[in-house]
Amino acid sequence: MKPVTAPIAIVLTAALALAGCFYPPQIPPPSADHDRVRLELPYDLAWDAVNEVIKQNNYNVRAQDPTHGIVEAQGTSFTLQDADCGEFRTLGGRFVVDPTAASSAEYNFRLKADGPEASIVEVESTYVAPLTVPFHPPSSTVCVSRGVDEARLLDQVREQAAQERRPIYRKSLP
């Protein structure tokens, strides 16, 4: 009987070369100052502005706590311009992890009063993309935000805040 170790070794080496390795995102997350805006608007109107922006973007509200100023919303998708999801390295080259339709985007808005007539709004994005590595069970990876979505959302909150007004109540005539 002839030893079959050489063909098995070649097959195993080829399989390992094709499988490659996953390297997580390398970019640092945006600074906290980048994800914050101060509005010259009382807390309740800032709360309304944030909720209107969430509605305009068709995000699903997952949790709200106006007492503590927290709104958690889920978006539909994101792109490589929004987040770094890492990369695969194989003998064939480097391949970035591309978000798919199964990816998810979570947005955490935090509001707090900054005196009686001003508010601070912060937003933090969390992205998760499915990760399929050959010869490994399916998993997911947390992507690092590039700060693009946060800046866009804060701009929308600023624009919406400029439109927010208290309702004017008028006495009805008998």
CATH code: domain of residue 28 = 3.30.310.80
| Inside any domain, residue 2 | no
- 161 within 8 A of 39, measured Cβ to Cβ: yes
The pLDDT confidence band at residue 161, using thresholds 50, 70 and 90, is very high
Domain residues for the domain of 114 are: 20-163
The tally of domains found in the chain comes to: 1
**Residue 74: strand pairing partners:** 60, 106
**Residue 12 binned pLDDT confidence (cut-offs 50, 70, 90):** very low
Of residues 1 and 165, the one with the higher pLDDT is 165
- Give dist(CA 49, CA 165) in Å, integer: 10
Residue 172, in any domain of the structure: no
pTM value is 0.77
Give the residue-averaged pLDDT of 10-32.
62
Residue 9 lies in a domain: no
Asked if the structure places residue 89 within a domain, the reply is: yes
Query: Which segment of 16-30, 48-62, 69-83 scores lowest on mean pLDDT?
Result: 16-30
> Can you tell me the mean pLDDT for 4-14?
53
What's residue 134's pLDDT? 67
In Å, how far are 18, 108, 109, 116, 166 from 33, measured between CA atoms?
42, 15, 14, 22, 29
Q: Of 17-31, 57-71, 112-126, 136-150, which gets the smallest average pLDDT?
A: 17-31
What is the average pLDDT score of the chain? Answer: 83
Please check whether residue 1 lies inside any domain of the structure: no
Question: Is there a contact between 126 and 60 (Cβ–Cβ < 8 Å)?
Answer: no
